[in-house]
Amino acid sequence: MFDTFSDRLRQIISNANDEAERAGSPSIDIDHLVAALCAWKESVAYEMLLALGVKPKAVMKAARSRMSSGHNAQPRTPLPFTEAAKEAMPAAVAEARALQMSYTGTEHLLLAIITMSAGKADALLRVDHADAVAALTEILTDMPVPAAPRSQTDGAAIADLRRRLSSIDVLLAASTSLDRTLLDRAFGALAGVDTEALPAILQHRIERILLAINAIAEEFPDARDPAKQLPATALVAYAYRLQQLRRLVTELDVQ
Which amino acid is located at 149 in the chain? P
% pLDDT > 90, the chain: 32
In a domain, 95, yes or no: yes
Quick one: 235 and 190 in the same domain? yes
Q: Same domain for 129 and 220?
A: no
Sign of the Cα pseudo-torsion (130, 131, 137, 143, in order)? negative
Residue pair 79/27 in contact (Cβ under 8 Å)? The answer is: yes
92: phi then psi, degrees, rounded to nearest 5: -65, -40
Average per-residue pLDDT for the chain? 75
* Alpha-carbon span 81 to 119, nearest angstrom: 23
Find the range with the poorest average confidence among 41-45, 184-188, 228-232: 184-188
Length of the chain as a residue count: 255
Closest CA to 185 of 126, 122, 103, 241: 241
Examine the pLDDT at 199 and tell me if it is beyond 70. Answer: no
Same domain (yes/no): 199, 105: no
For residues 179 and 120, state if they share a domain.
Answer: no
Mean pLDDT of 158-179: 49
Q: Give the lowest-confidence range in 12-16, 66-70, 125-129, 148-152.
A: 148-152
State the pTM of this model.
0.61
> What proportion of the chain, given as a percentage, has pLDDT over 70?
53
* DSSP-assigned letter for residue 120: -
Q: Report the distance separating Cα 109 and Cα 160, nearest Å.
A: 40
Radius of gyration of the chain (CA): 21
Q: In angstroms, rounded to a whole number, what is the distance separating the alpha carbons of residues 195 and 209?
A: 13
The predicted pLDDT at position 137 comes to 82
Please give the pLDDT value at position 51: 92
Q: Pick from 56-70, 134-148, 149-163, 209-223 the range whose average pLDDT is largest.
A: 56-70
Number of domains present in the structure of the chain: 2
pLDDT digits (tens, 9 = 90+) for 66-98: 886 655 545 556 789 999 999 999 999 999 988
Domain extent, residue 237, equals 155-251
Inter-residue contact 139 to 242 (CB < 8 Å): no
pLDDT-derived band of residue 122, with 50, 70 and 90 as boundaries?
confident
Mean pLDDT of 148-171: 54
Q: What is the mean pLDDT of residues 98-117?
A: 90
Write out the H or E segment, with its range, that includes residue 177.
strand 177-178
Which residue(s) pair with 36 in the sheet?
Answer: none
* Mean pLDDT calculated for residue range 26-45: 93
Residues 23 and 137 in one domain: yes
Can you tell me the distance from the alpha carbon of 41 to that of 47, in angstroms, rounded to the nearest whole number? 7
Instruction: For residue 157, count other CB atoms closer than 10 A to its CB.
Output: 17
Between 83 and 160, the more confident residue is 83
pLDDT band at 105 (very low <50, low <70, confident <90, very high): very high
> Which DSSP string corresponds to 44-76?
HHHHHHHHTT--HHHHHHHHHHHS-----SS--
- Bin 64: left if φ > 0, else alpha if -120 < ψ < 50, else beta: alpha
Structure confidence at residue 173 (pLDDT): 35
Helix or strand holding residue 114 (H, E): helix 106-117
Residue 73 maps to which CATH number? 1.10.1780.10
Q: Looking at the structure, do residues 115 and 184 belong to the same domain, yes or no?
A: no
Residue 113: predicted pLDDT: 95
Q: Which pLDDT value is given to residue 100?
A: 77
Contacts of 75 (CB under 8 A, 6+ apart): 21
Domain boundary among 142, 176, 211: 142
On whether both 197 and 104 belong to a single domain, the answer is: no
